[in-house]
Structure formats: C-alpha cells, structure tokens
Amino acid sequence: MSAALDRLAVHTITTKPWTLAEAADRYARRGIGGISVWVEAIEGMTATAARRIVDDAGLRVPALVRGGFFCDPSESERNRRIDRNRELIATAAELGAEMLVLVVGATPGTPLDRQRGWVSDGIEALLPEAQAAGVKLAIEPLHPMYAADKSCINRIAEARHICQRLDHASVGVAVDVYHVWWDPDLELEITRLGETRTLFAFHLCDWRVPTRDMLNDRALMGDGCIDLAGITAAVRLAGFDGWDEVEIFSEEHWREDQDQFLDRIVERYRLLESRHG
C-alpha cells in the first residue's frame, strides 16, 4: 500500500481475463485508488451490482468506457446512437463513474470534417442528461490509423474545437498517450486544455515497436517509444490533478499471469512518477 497509488486507476480491459470482482479485489489489495470500467466488464449485471463490487473494494470509478460512435450517414441511426449514449450516461451515474469516455466513431465514405459535425451535434444533444446526471463527457482522440472506421477525431485540436464550440463544463478531452504521442502540437495542446479546464483524463500505456496489431498490441509503460515522462510532466504542468489511468489492451499481456502483470504495471507506474519530476 502506498499513497503514491492514490491517483492511479486501471482500466478493466487491461486485466481482461479477470471478472470485475477479481479485478476490483486485486487492484484494491495493491493500494490502487481507481478502476475504470469497460461496458463489457459489466455485461450481464446491473450497474447497481457493479457499483456494490467497486464500493466494497473501496475503489473509485474515474470512467465508464466507452460511449460515442456518433457517425453514420443515416440520421435515424445517428439518433439511435445518441439514445444509446443516454443509456450509458445513466449507467455511468449508477456506477458512480465521474465520466463517460467517448470514442466518437467514423464511417468510410463521408468527409471527416462533416463527420466531426455529427459528433458535435451528438454530444450537444447529450448535454442536458450529462449535466443532470453529474457525468462528464470526455472526447478521446484516436490515432489516425483509426480515422476510417473508429474515430474522425485524431488530434487533440479537433476535440478541443468541439469543446470550444459547445463551451460546456461537462465536455472535455481524454488524452491517451497511445493516440496522441506523435502530435507535433502535443505540448501546446495539453497546455490549452489546461487553460480551458477541459483536460478530463490521462491514459497511460506505450507504443510497441514494431506494432503487430492495430488494436490489441499496446505495450506496458517503458516497453515502447513514447516519451511518457515528458508527456506526464506536460500534463501536470497544465494543472491536471485527475487520475492516471493505465489502459493496455494486449493479447500478449492477457495471456500472462494477471497478478504478475499488475505488479509490473504498479512498478512501472512508480518508476514513471519518480522520473517526470
């Protein structure tokens, strides 16, 4: 147990082989303060039952992951997806999650800029529910390799533009090092998010070289090429005092003993904390 892990949270997808109850127990035993819950991890149980599990473990829930997916050429389909996000906001509130992370979606064949308009409209439609529920909405830019079919928002700047347009305290940005480490404006954009109080979340992992799979080959912090110390320092300098969330989806790591994997996550996190100053 250590006070240094108070602001550390782990995403349930990181230890995918574990049930929610197993994950909550193992995280709490190590003194980890938070658990970000993927919707898949609570399939088949009520949000109330899930909340009891995390409450009993003494954990807090930074985020429910993930809503969004606003992009479709059909307006009725887009409306259905907005409704699905309304349900997720309600689930997040029942779970006690501080925010709902939005992977905004993308669909091949429509200019990305037009799709970003759908995203903005979709989020705008959710603002009353989000505010009433006390659940923040965090737009997560995804790496451009996902621009065709997962996210039309790839740079922090594109997420920031939507935040500026909506100008609402419930809307901000989730900065995931995996997705934005290459951005030439990274430091500047992190500073801007800090200034506008829209830096809602900070996700940690690493970029494996070479990457063998576009989705499930994330690396443990320190096993890749990302300047984690530099980015963490920039995030702190921007005034971010929220959670450091470890989010690693990796076929390789899921095959390992999850207890040993989690021990290494904690070890690498402590090392990072000591390095960024």
Looking at the Cβ atoms of 158 and 247, the one nearer to Zn ion is 247
Residue 55: helix, strand or coil by DSSP? Answer: helix
Q: Hey, which residues between 239 and 258 contact Zn ion (CB under 5 A)?
A: 247
Name which position in 176, 183, 206, 244 contacts Zn ion (CB under 5 A): 176
Least gap, CB of 103 to Zn ion (angstroms): 8
**Between 228-237 and 258-275, two packed helices, what is the crossing angle to 10 degrees?**
60
CB 203 to Zn ion: min, Å: 4
Number of residues that bind Zn ion (CB under 5 A): 3
Contact pattern from residue 199 through residue 238 relative to Zn ion, giving x for each residue in contact according to CB under 5 A and a dash for the rest: ----x-----------------------------------
Shortest Å distance, C-beta 79 to Zn ion:
26
Write down the least CB distance from residue 11 to Zn ion, Å: 8
Residue 91: closest CA among 131, 56, 51: 51
249 contacts 14 by C-beta, under 8 angstroms: yes
Q: What residues does 173 pair with on adjacent strands?
A: 139, 199
State both tokens at 129: 């529910």
| Residue with Cβ nearer Zn ion (116 or 203) | 203
Phi, psi of 175 (to 5 degrees): -95, 115
Q: Which residues of 174-184 are buried (b: 16+ CB within 10 A; e: fewer)?
A: bbbbbbbbebe
Task: Work out whether 11 is an interface residue with Zn ion (CB under 5 A).
Answer: no
Q: Closest distance between Zn ion and the C-beta of residue 94, in Å?
A: 22
What is the contact surface with Zn ion in residues (CB under 5 A)? Answer: 176, 203, 247
